[in-house]
Copies of this chain bind each other. A is one copy, B any other.
Amino acid sequence: MQVIRSLAQARALFDVFGQPIGFVPTMGALHEGHLELVRQARSECTTVAASIFVNPMQFAPGEDFERYPRDLDADCVKLTETGVDIVFVPSDDEIYPAGFSTAIDVGALASVYEGAIRPGHFRGVATIVAKLLNVVHPQVLYVGQKDAQQTAVLRKMVRDLEIPVHVEVVPTVRDSDGLALSSRNAYLNAAERAQAPSLYRTLLALRDALEAGMSKSAAIQRARSELGSLAVLDYLDVVDADTFEPLEAMRPPSFAIAAARFGATRLLDNVWMPHG
């Protein structure tokens, strides 16, 4: 596996490596969810490129940018073992040189749920991914369903701006108890870790209640009571999978989405509806 650090090297990839190129952008702290993206890219593309960049633009002041887990050596071992050809590890200065000021905003979709709680987050996500796509120009972009709203933001940006890439959304990888894998799971203490799978169970209960014909308000109330005092819920809702507008009834394509804090750690999860 080749490790490259400059934009100039990354721009040259397209002329050197075989196509199609599959691209997996990450913030490092890699787990099986990321590696599942790599495996899918490996099975579909001639060249697999990944990137590791903890993107300051997608963290709001006071969030966990500084303490976000970083372990480049371990990440590179995992990527090599999973068959990545190139990993791009740019510096902050290369991505955000002095005077950088451009941002991509996908509109209303970026200002609800995660976007409401983390203002500017999706501008940061959309902007870094557009920039990485312009540098690497892969044919396929692999993103994880765990960050459902992020996948919707990126699909919308790609569609609206006609960015020449196919976005492939890879199903969430879970621990045996149902907890969605996330780099932020490392923040959980033992008690919180034991409670964290309740987020997924809450979403499944919501889905099941809706599928059984319960009204949305009743189903959400029941799901909230099942989560009980285990966590502080930021939101729990059923939304259109493309626009993230709330849906009163269940209809595909939609997501049941939730975010909750277990202690100081904020976790996200979702269930693709009507297929769990």
A residues with CB within 8 A of B:
7, 11, 99-109, 127, 130-131, 134-135, 137, 156-157, 160-164, 243
A109 to B106, CA, bound (A): 20
Q: Do B134 and A164 touch across chains, with their CB atoms under 8 A apart?
A: yes
Q: Do B105 and A162 touch across chains, with their CB atoms under 8 A apart?
A: no
A137 to B107, CA, bound (A): 25
Chain B residues near A156: list those with CB within 8 A: 101-102
Q: Do A102 and B135 touch across chains, with their CB atoms under 8 A apart?
A: no
Give how many copies assemble into the complex: 2
Chain B nearest Cβ from A7, distance in angstroms = 7
Q: Do B107 and A105 touch across chains, with their CB atoms under 8 A apart?
A: no
Q: Do A160 and B105 touch across chains, with their CB atoms under 8 A apart?
A: no
Chain B residues near A163: list those with CB within 8 A: 134
Chain B residues near A105: list those with CB within 8 A: 102-105
Chain B residues near A104: list those with CB within 8 A: 102-105, 161
Q: Do B164 and A11 touch across chains, with their CB atoms under 8 A apart?
A: yes
Chain B residues near A164: list those with CB within 8 A: 11, 134, 137
Chain B residues near A103: list those with CB within 8 A: 104-105, 107
Given A102-B105, A102-B157, A102-B160; 12 other pairs, CB 8 A cutoff: A100-B160, A101-B106, A101-B108, A102-B104, A102-B107, A102-B156, A103-B104, A103-B105, A104-B161, A105-B105, A131-B160, A131-B161
A247 to B134, CA, bound (A): 33
A103 to B106, CA, bound (A): 6
Chain B nearest Cβ from A17, distance in angstroms = 16
Provide a sorted-by-A list of 22 A–B residue pairs whose CB atoms are within 8 angstroms: A7-B162, A11-B162, A99-B243, A100-B160, A101-B106, A101-B107, A101-B108, A102-B104, A102-B105, A102-B156, A102-B157, A102-B160, A102-B161, A103-B104, A103-B107, A104-B104, A104-B105, A127-B161, A130-B161, A134-B162, A134-B164, A135-B162
